[in-house]
Amino acid sequence: MPALVIGVVIANLATLSWAELGEPVVYVDDVGNLFVNGSGGAARVYVNGIDLAALVAEQEVLAASQASLLAAQTSALATQASLLAQLQHRLPDFDARLLAIGGYTNESLDLVHAFNGTDWSPDPALPSPLHGHSAIAFRDQVYVVGGYNTVYVPDVYRRLDNSSWIAAAPLHTARGYLATVVFHNELYALGGDGGNTILSSVEIYNGTAWRSGPALLDPRADLAAVSYQGEIVVLGGTESRAPPQVTGSVMAFNGTAWRYIAPLTQPRRAMVAAVFMDHIYVAGGIEAAALASVEMFNGTAWSFGLALPTARHTMSGAVFQDQLYIAAGKGNVDMADVLALDGHNKAWITAPPLPVACQALALVVI
């Protein structure tokens, strides 16, 4: 068998490309890397009968195919996660309960009633009678914030378990007819009536203490607030008490600053607002008279939804078992009836009434 002779050319590869080499080359660089090239730019290099250029091309095609498959799998997983999130949103939590807390009927109430989807039952009472307060679920516990009991109070109560309430750190400023919302894992107390003045101040609770936050763009009491599309949205309310200066303006907070966004179609205060079916729903309230109208916001514009069967204001609401519940309030008289909006069938249905007719209560889901 004839001997195989490889011509070795020592080349300066910093100034000479492989294509410019006219002879086969075997080259070892300063750090020991081995370079092998055929005789000319179009020549092939074979190792043990394998065409290295063809092998590299095959590997590149395989890598591109794997990248495409990975992208498709990532897209499929994202779709599955989205569908699961929608399903979890749609499925009722049958272990949850809807609490109706406090309220007013000739006097402030300390009553708490729990609804399991079928009927109402008594629950441990508040430490003190309250109305015009706000209730919210924060870090898996129920908080009752502010309110009125002969005077506006800074009190905050936390539901320790299913059988007792304890005092939490109080607000810096006493206020009632405020709004609360959870945003970026902190509890915000927004506006309200301080007794001598309508408030624009905002307080933020981190689970231990309250601090001041960026004030609202204008004072608000009887307002509503929700967390929607990554922002706090504050809706309606009154800017003064004597006489009430009812507003339809809406403002949003992105974590840094407030700005005005599309206003309500109809000014209103003392209404219910909730995020339901991917929209902000605003129901009832009062301007010159009690309202039955319902407005929906899709992030850009407002439209009217299915009106309440009866006009009312100073009620409370919450999303429970995939329905929007609205309880009690005031029309011509204090009410005990409870309504639930079935978002799929687009109908208000009558739910079991509260044991007591009242207004200025707070609903919260636990």
Q: Within this chain, do residues 156 and 284 fall inside the same structural domain, yes or no?
A: yes
- Rg over CA atoms, the chain: 33
Together in a domain, 127 and 22:
no
Structural domain of 22 = 1-64
The model's pLDDT over 322-355, given as tens digits with 9 standing for 90+, comes to 999 999 999 999 999 999 999 887 899 999 999 9
Q: What is the pLDDT of residue 54?
A: 82
Sheet holding 112-115, edge to edge: 120-123, 112-115, 98-101, 362-365
Asked whether the beta carbons of 146 and 163 are under 8 A apart, the reply is no
Residue 39: per-residue pLDDT: 56
* CATH code, domain with 230: 2.120.10.80
Band (pLDDT 50/70/90 cuts) for residue 59 is confident
Mean pLDDT of the 68-79 span:
86
What's the mean pLDDT in 122-143? 97
Pairing of strands 151-152, 148-149: antiparallel
Whether residues 245 and 337 share a domain: the answer is yes
| Confidence (pTM) | 0.75
> Cβ distance 110 to 103 under 8 Å?
no
**Quick check: is 90 in a domain?**
no
Cβ partners under 8 Å of residue 147, min gap 6 = 102, 108, 130, 131, 132, 133, 134, 153, 155, 176
Determine the average pLDDT of the residues in 172-192. 99
Q: 146 and 15 share a domain?
A: no
pLDDT of residue 6: 47
Residues 167 and 266 occupy one common structural domain: yes
Sign of torsion over alpha carbons 296, 302, 308, 311: positive
Residue 65 sits at φ, ψ, to 5 deg, of: -65, -40
- If asked whether residues 3 and 126 sit together in one domain, one would say no
Contact 283, 265 (CB under 8 A): no
Q: Closest Cα to residue 112, out of 352, 355, 337, 324? A: 355
Q: What is the rounded average pLDDT of the residues 165-193?
A: 99
The residues with which 276 forms a beta bridge, in sequence order, are 279
**Nearest-angstrom CA–CA distance, 290 and 148:** 22
At 2 the three-state DSSP class reads: coil
Residue that wins the pLDDT comparison between 142 and 20: 142
Please provide the average confidence, as pLDDT, over all residues in the chain.
89
Alpha carbons 246 and 241: distance in angstroms, whole number: 9
Give the HSE-up count for residue 335: Cα atoms under 13 Å, Cβ half-sphere: 20
- 203 and 108 in a common domain: yes
Are 48 and 147 within one domain?
no
Mean pLDDT of 283-293: 98
Check whether 32 has a pLDDT greater than 90.
Answer: no
Looking at the structure of the chain, the number of domains it has is: 2
Pick from 98, 120, 124: which is nearest to 111 by CA?
Answer: 124
Residue 226, CA atoms < 13 Å, CB-side half-sphere: 22
* 74 vs 68: CA distance, rounded Å: 10
87 domain-assigned: no
Q: What is the pLDDT of residue 5?
A: 43
Residue 350 is classified by DSSP as: E
Do the domain assignments include residue 69? no
pLDDT of amino acid 8: 47
My answer on whether 305 and 225 are in the same domain is yes
pLDDT at 13 over 80: no
113-138 in b/e form (b: 16+ CB < 10 A) is bbbebeebeebeebebbbbbbbbbbb
| 39: CB partners within 8 A, 6+ apart | 21, 22, 23, 24
Q: How would you write 327-341 as a 3-class SS string?
A: ECCECCCEECCEEEE
Distance CA 67, CA 230 (A): 32
Q: How confident is the model at residue 4 (pLDDT cuts 50, 70, 90)?
A: very low
